[in-house]
Structure 1
Amino acid sequence: MALLIALPSLILPPTQGHSPELVTLTAILLGCFVFAEYFSTSPSFLEFRDARPMNRCRFAALAVCVFLVSLLTRHEAAPTGLTALTSSLGHLLAQGLDIAFSPVRLVQLVLPPDLSDPAVELARRATAMAYTASLSSVLVFGLIIRTGRWPQRNGPFNVWINLPLFDPTTGGDVVTRLQRDARLHIAGGVLAPFLLPAMVKLGSGSMDPALFANAQLFVWAVTGWAMFPAMMIMRGMARLRVAELIAVQRRSFALDDELQTA
């Protein structure tokens, strides 16, 4: 996690980097937090700690997204062979995803009107690259759920360990609550790519030009816009799966009781 936070600083040219002290402090704090969550007996915030590879999928998707967007941003100031290849791939993705109501089209609607053409193209390519990574992570996790017997292959699923923010003793039936929360997360993840640009448009009319003056801020803004919806959808998918397992276990127990009674 610490390396992920520092990744844009390592890729971007020094003239485009943010304060190294702030980046280092943030990386250390997040690294300590993740270490404490994984090695404590009672987690406080991090979900699905023992239900791998969900968190690994999320981390890998986030790392890939940050890496690719950082390379795209670096290409504008210090091009290399790798950044040129990434930029070409971003161009192809932007051309393919530039359809009505797509994130590539939406980002163009909230860009400052006086933004230069290279900056507009960078925003298009970065958005296309980031959303390709986020959608791929959702598809991969969906395949893991259906073909990899997640989360049973890791042993019994402990709700308290893997869902520390979920209290199964309050609020009604556990399965109903999990399904409701899951559907809300999935719906929110699907709507988020459209709602965030709409909020920007209604609020200030366009993105802050300072976003494009700070390369690291641009990288994290694009990554957050793409990965936040994917994280919500994956969280909803995971909760639906847990609700399904609990329902199956209930039916199994009910059948056993009927057989014993008979």
Structure 2
Amino acid sequence: MLTQFISAITRAVLVAFLVALPALLVPNVSADSSQVMMLIALFGALLVFIEYYATYPSIIEFRNAPPFNRLRYVAVLLTVFVIASVASNASDPNSLNGLLKSVAALAGNMLDFPYSPVRLVVVTLPAETNIASVGFVRMAAGTAYLFSLISLLVFYFMVRVLDWPARNGAFNVWVNLPLFDPTVGGDVLPRLTRDGRLNIALGLMMPFLFPAFFKAISDIANPLQLTNPQTLIWTVAIWAFFPAGLVMRGIAMTRIASMIDENRKRAYAVAQGLQPV
């Protein structure tokens, strides 16, 4: 019980730190904005603590299948830190901020090609946006998308080469997929495969659909001020990592489906008196 409490409180503190990080690094943050972010950080920390301290989860998936959630957290943390450091470089230039700005500029220029998701984010900006703000948005979008791609590649390597999640022991579908009910809708195997492929397809399309949707509604509603550093940080983080999370979830579900299929084949072979392969 003590170990579970320490684990839950540690995760809660880390989530609160992530949410509050832009308010701590970005210069000229208003007091009202800082208070709002601190409230959101406390709410996120409380939610994570309850989820990891409870015996049975309700929202957070793959709670007992590390390092799925750890990989996503580290990727988002690095993205937020890099973009916030780039934003603070204007008022607090130093060697670290300058290096991170160069890395972000390289990522933005590398991924800003015709019809790319980064280019679609840049073209959503109003025509009167100044060159410096356009460059900042390009760097932020490129950095977020690059880290999301890296997280996907790392997770795919873990699944295909490191045999995730089989190396962690028995996989409990109910605990690790609390939003997926295995008792509804017939055989669980085709449902997992179908849902996994659907998540992958949606995750691959969303980086292209979000900017198009944003551009479409900008004429009838006030668009988000992407030139505001805090707004930009969380907008590009959601834009990049929500689709990446869907792809990772889809890969995980298809992997679980293949594990169930392999276990069924072994059970059938044993039942028929055959030597399992």
Q: Do both proteins adopt the same fold according to a TM-score greater than 0.5, normalized to the shorter chain?
A: yes
Aligned positions of 1:14-25 closer than 5 A: 14-15=28-29, 19-25=33-39
* Residues 110 and 207, structure 1, Cα contact 8 Å, conserved in 2: no
Give the stretch that moved more between structures: 147-156 or 53-62: 147-156
**What's the CA shift string for 1:87-132, capped at 9, x where partnerless?**
1112222222221211221122111111011000001111111111
Is 1:81 paired with 2:95? yes
In 1, distance between residues paired with 2:106 and 2:261?
A: 45
Aligned position for 1:39: 53
**Cα pair distance change 1:131/1:155, threshold 3 Å:** same
Match of 1:210 among 210, 225, 229: 225
Aligned-residue identity in percent: 42
State the TM-score, normalized to the length of structure 1.
0.94
Q: How far does residue 207 in structure 1 lie from its aligned partner after superposition?
A: 7.8
Is 1:138 paired with 2:152? yes
Aligned position for 2:171: 157
In 2, distance between residues paired with 1:16 and 1:115?
A: 23
Query: How much is the aligned-residue C-alpha RMSD, in angstroms?
Result: 1.7
Q: How far does residue 86 in structure 1 lie from its aligned partner after superposition?
A: 1.2
Q: How far does residue 17 in structure 1 lie from its aligned partner after superposition?
A: 7.0
How many residues get paired?
259
* Residues 23 and 29, structure 2, Cα contact 8 Å, conserved in 1: no
Aligned positions of 1:193-204 closer than 5 A: 193-204=207-218
In 2, distance between residues paired with 1:200 and 1:209?
A: 9
Is 1:242 paired with 2:267? no
Q: How far does residue 225 in structure 1 lie from its aligned partner after superposition?
A: 0.8
**What's the CA shift string for 1:135-183, capped at 9, x where partnerless?**
0000001111122221112211111110111111111211100111111
* Residues 104 and 142, structure 2, Cα contact 8 Å, conserved in 1: yes
In 2, distance between residues paired with 1:53 and 1:28?
A: 24
Aligned position for 1:103: 117
In 1, distance between residues paired with 2:149 and 2:224?
A: 28
State the TM-score, normalized to the length of structure 2.
0.89
Give the stretch that moved more between structures: 135-144 or 100-109: 100-109
SS in 2 for 1:210: coil
In 2, distance between residues paired with 1:95 and 1:20?
A: 31
Aligned position for 2:195: 181
* Residues 16 and 216, structure 1, Cα contact 8 Å, conserved in 2: no
Q: How far does residue 78 in structure 1 lie from its aligned partner after superposition?
A: 3.2
* Residues 140 and 232, structure 2, Cα contact 8 Å, conserved in 1: no
